[in-house]
Amino acid sequence: MTDRVFAVVGLFSSAQALMDAIPKVRARTLGTVEAYTPYPIHGIEDALGLRRSPLGGMVMVAGVLGAATALFFQWWMSAVDYPIVVGGKALFSWQAFVPIMFELTVLFATFTAGLGMLLLLNRLPFFSHPVLASKAIAGITRDKFALAIEADGGALDVDAASAALRAAGAADLEVLPVAVAQPPALNELSRSVMGIAISCLVAGYVMYWLIKLFPVLPPMVHMQEQPRLDVYKASELFKDGHGMQLPVAGTVARGYLPYLIESPEQAAALVNPLPRTSEVLQKGRTVWNNRCGVCHGALGNGVPTLTAAYGAKPANLQAQTFREYPDGKIYHVIMVGKNAMPSYAADLTDDERWAVVHYLRVLQRAQNAKDEDLK
């Protein structure tokens, strides 16, 4: 049985001879023309008519994808899913995302470059190339330049190929059979895997103890000895000697306006900004029932659902005084509290505060309905 032919190879003794032969052999169009040389030769890819590698494009796409992925992840985490204001900065502070974007760009790009080259373009795992089993390989890895006509798809016309190579000046012609792929024996494979695993373990273990035993080798020493502020520690940096400092006077938390009104009289001028729609009243009712009703009663008449142990007496908000109370004064009590009534500034949003003021008006009017209300 004759082996299937992979290629006919011929050797040249100089790069120039090889380059001169390439166009002559290619002109015969007998098969794929491939060169094997001891070192890269300028211009050979043009002579062989090789296309530009698509790897650059693949890496470009992967890099952009990496940057976009990092940007998307960080935007999603810090502006959508778990928004936390840090140092008063906007939630989507893209400048802070750049390092991770850079890292994912590099990560995606290098993995694509490495794996794309090895697996896609070089078609690994590829255990044995026919040329590696040839006699010519000894010359190719030293000082000879080989030109091969390889069968592309169909059968190769060995005689025509040999004649073409010889005509172009090749010597030491050789016919290479198709290599039968031979995966490495299992024990060889498992031995390499074991070797890599043991090396990793040993390297990791040595690194672990190195860092554990010598954590402050220079230049790390300087980082540990630098002047810095430790929580609860004294500090010479500030006049009062404390490491921890209150925010600068006048600091305003993002999303909260300071409440500067000091007295109920001042608050009386405030105007309820919400319209009296049923939606707003529904919201006010929810707040009332959840927050205020326990003390002031479901109807606002000052009958609490609390035991006498509570001690204080919640105001009867159905009383004349409170029916004539301006909205702003009620709002003020919710903001700052009064005696036994705690402040609800932190528990309710501004809309909820004004909505419950509207709802209190509804309760008052319902309990003090006049004849005109029926019309």
Residues that bind ligand HEC (CB under 6 A): 264, 291-292, 294-296, 312, 314-315, 317, 330, 333-334, 338-341, 344, 356, 360
Shortest CB 236 distance to ligand HEC, Å: 46
Identity of the residue, 285 or 296, whose beta carbon is nearer to ligand HEC in the bound complex: 296
Compare residues 100 and 303 and give the one whose CB is closer to ligand HEC: 303
| Minimal distance, residue 105 CB to ligand HEC, in Å | 52
- Residue number with CB closer to ligand HEC (145 or 344): 344
**CA–CA–CA angle 179, 184, 185 (5° rounding):** 130
In the complex, the smallest distance separating the C-beta of residue 330 from ligand HEC, rounded to whole angstroms, is 4
Closest approach of ligand HEC to the CB of residue 65, in Å: 51
Q: How far is the CB of 345 from ligand HEC (least distance, A)?
A: 10
Give the shortest CB-312-to-ligand HEC separation in angstroms.
4
CB 265 within 8 A of CB 326: no
Q: Which two tokens stand for residue 272?
A: 């309820």
Instruction: Pick between residue 147 and residue 360 the one whose CB is nearest to ligand HEC.
Output: 360
The two structure tokens encoding residue 256: 């909260």
Helices (H), 293-344: 293-296, 320-323, 327-336
Neighbours of 199 (CB within 10 A): 10
Task: Closer to ligand HEC by CB, 200 or 340: give it.
Answer: 340
Structure tokens at 72: 């998307």
Question: In the complex with ligand HEC, which residue's Cβ is closer, 79 or 319?
Answer: 319
Chain-centroid distance of CA 275 in Å reads 43
- What are phi and psi for residue 34, nearest 5 degrees? -135, 145
Q: How far is the CB of 363 from ligand HEC (least distance, A)?
A: 10
For residue 207 the two structure tokens come to 């690194």
List Cα–Cα distances, 73 to 70, 90, 215, 250, 348, in angstroms. 5, 16, 34, 35, 32
Cβ atoms < 10 Å from Cβ of 254: 11
Question: Do 303 and 292 contact (CB within 8 A), yes or no?
Answer: no
Q: What whole-number distance in Å separates Cα of residue 204 and Cα of residue 171?
A: 53
63/314 with CB nearer ligand HEC: 314
How far, in Å, CA of 123 to CA of 120, rounded? 5
- Backbone φ and ψ for 44, nearest 5 degrees, come out as -70, -30
Q: How far is the CB of 214 from ligand HEC (least distance, A)?
A: 60
Decide whether 108 or 344 has the Cβ nearer to ligand HEC.
Answer: 344
